[in-house]
Amino acid sequence: MNPAGRLAEDNLCKPLIGLCATRDGRCILASCSDARLRLIDRDTGDLLASYSGHSVADLSVECDVSAGDSLVLSGSAGGSGELICWDLLSGELRCRLRHPAAEPARAGVRTQASVVQSVSAHPKLCRVLTAMGDAVFLWADPAHAIADEPQ
């Protein structure tokens, strides 16, 4: 019997929260429970970069890669209602965009209305959809530092 596909295995030593592929398909972005995002080469399994500065607590906080493969995007459970963006190549924190519907954190109390748990980048355009509690927001303004539409 011929196998239908090829299975590769890697161990990041931390529980995974989520995975997504870069738009070019050459890398995998792994969101881990230690509040680090790891960029992994799909073919070799090598760790290419690591991104930190967000919080996941005990929640499933999604990540994604922007349309032009230039930004790594993640929600945060830190209570501030932020979409966090890093430069994919340098790993530099580019911006923290506060979700307009965020309620201010009260004495460290985290509510659904202060956790950006869902992030989804448009595959071709400079657009990112985020969800927090019962609110959804479309980031479409290049002034918000997500101006990396492919040429």
pLDDT tens column, 72-102: 998 887 767 788 889 999 999 988 888 776 6
Residue 89: inside a domain? yes
- Alpha-carbon gap, residue 48 to 26, rounded angstroms: 11
> What is the value of pTM for the model shown?
0.78
Residue 5: inside a domain? no
> Which domain, by its residues, includes 115?
54-144
Residue 74 half-sphere exposure toward CB, CA atoms < 13 A: 32
Residue 151: inside a domain? no
Helix, strand, coil tally for the chain in percent (to 5): 5, 40, 55
- Sole residue written with tokens 């869902």: 118
Residue 77: inside a domain? yes
Residue 79: inside a domain? yes
pLDDT tens column, 26-63: 999 998 878 888 999 998 989 999 998 777 776 677 88
Residue 22: inside a domain? no
Counted domains in the chain: 1
